[in-house]
Amino acid sequence: MTRSIPARAARRVLWSLLRSRAKTSPSQEDLSAPALFLSPHKDDETLGAGATLLSKVAAGAPVKILFFTDGRNSCQGLMSPRELSALRTEEALAAGSKMGLGKEDLIFLELEDSRLEDFHDQAVQGVLAALEDFRPREVYIPYKGETIEDHLAARRASLEALSRAGRPVRVHEYPVWFWFAWPWVTIPRLALREKPAWIFSGLASGFRLLLDFNRLVPTEGLLERKREILACYKSQTTKLADDPRWTTLGEIGDGAFLECFFRAYEPFHSYDLSPSTEETLDSKNPPLPAEINKEEGVTSAPNSRKGS
């Protein structure tokens, strides 16, 4: 984490406020509900919801993960697309095994990463097939405030498939690149004139955190396993090529970004989708049409990393 005193203070205040208003103890019924985790890239499910997934497996819940993309473009020019895609699938299988999931619990759509939006129809069909086959009561999807286009494209495809499936389901949106903002991450090399904009966007993300996130799942006793599972994604956590272009998750924000996923709680923006009303049952959350607004929350990523 960053050692900046204002950033540390801001984080402490935001987490304290969030803990005071969000639901922090999922019921046994919640934990044992069949769940489908929808992951844009092979590692997002672990980063954003890995401890929650482990809690559910421990509670005996049937769990499946659907990966949208193949990862061929995550380290462009450093490994052939085919090699990289195969490696990332191997990594996901190893991670799944450590979670207690078998091959049959993992679904790979293998769509091209960095341009998932171009494969929207295939993505919707893939999610729809998984929903029909598995009939989960909970679905985990990327958070609407993500800053990576593949994550937002995965969310749009997920919500469209859920709408077409037409069954009531509890949705939990998990953040990944949302954390790439002040005060969670500071960029020491940022030019002075750029710092106000960075801090302003960070304050906006702080307000968004408090407004949107309403469910905190405790990670106590699970973080070591979460780290071990994340380590299965070797292409994302270690340098497989001696080249500065091969960026690891641990290098982003001098390590502060990665530590965002190892806190006392995993936060979620949670709501119920009901086909009869097409509205969330939680009045604090917007209705479905707003959830699938293509323009909503789309911003350019503050870095060029494509793999996570």
**Site for Zn ion, residues 279 to 308, rule: CB under 5 A:** 308
Contact yes or no for 176/44 (Cβ under 8 A): yes
CB of 39 to Zn ion, least distance (A): 8
CB of 16 vs Zn ion, minimal distance in Å:
29
The answer to whether 247 contacts Zn ion (rule: CB under 5 A) is no
69 near Zn ion (CB under 5 A): no
Q: Which of 41, 72, 170, 215 binds Zn ion (CB under 5 A)?
A: 41
- Structure tokens, 174: 């998990």
Least Å from the CB of residue 243 to Zn ion: 21
The nearest distance, CB 7 to Zn ion, in angstroms, is 24
Angle (CA) 150-156-157 rounded to 5° is 90
Which three-class secondary structure string do you get for 60-85?
CCCEEEEEEECCCCCCCCCCCHHHHH
Total number of residues that touch Zn ion (CB under 5 A): 4
Query: Where on the phi/psi map is residue 26: left (φ > 0), alpha (ψ -120 to 50), or beta?
Result: beta
> Is there binding between residue 219 and Zn ion (CB under 5 A)?
no
Which CB sits closer to Zn ion, 26 or 267? 267
Q: Out of 1, 33, 38, 40, point to the residue binding Zn ion (CB under 5 A).
A: 40
DSSP annotation string for 154-203: HHHHHHHHHHHHT--EEEEEE-SGGGSSTTT---TTS-GGGHHHHHHHHH
Q: Which residue is nearest to Zn ion (CB)?
A: 41
Nearer residue to Zn ion within complex by CB, 44 or 110: 44
Note the Cα 88 to chain centre separation in Å.
Answer: 17
Chain position carrying tokens 């193949």 = 70
Stretch that binds Zn ion, among 44-52, 184-192, 216-224, 238-246 (CB under 5 A): 44-52
Least gap, CB of 46 to Zn ion (angstroms)? 11
Q: Do residues 160 and 139 touch, judged by C-beta distance below 8 A?
A: no
236 in Cβ contact with 307 (< 8 Å): yes
| C-beta of 26 vs 126, nearer to Zn ion | 126
Closer by beta carbon to Zn ion, 40 or else 126: 40
Give the residue, chosen from 1, 30, 36, 44, that forms a contact with Zn ion under the rule CB under 5 A: 44
The Cβ of residue 258 has, within 10 Å, a number of other Cβ atoms equal to 22
Q: Which residues of 185-196 are buried (b: 16+ CB within 10 A; e: fewer)?
A: bbbeeeeeeeee
Question: Which residues are near Zn ion by CB under 5 A?
Answer: 40-41, 44, 308
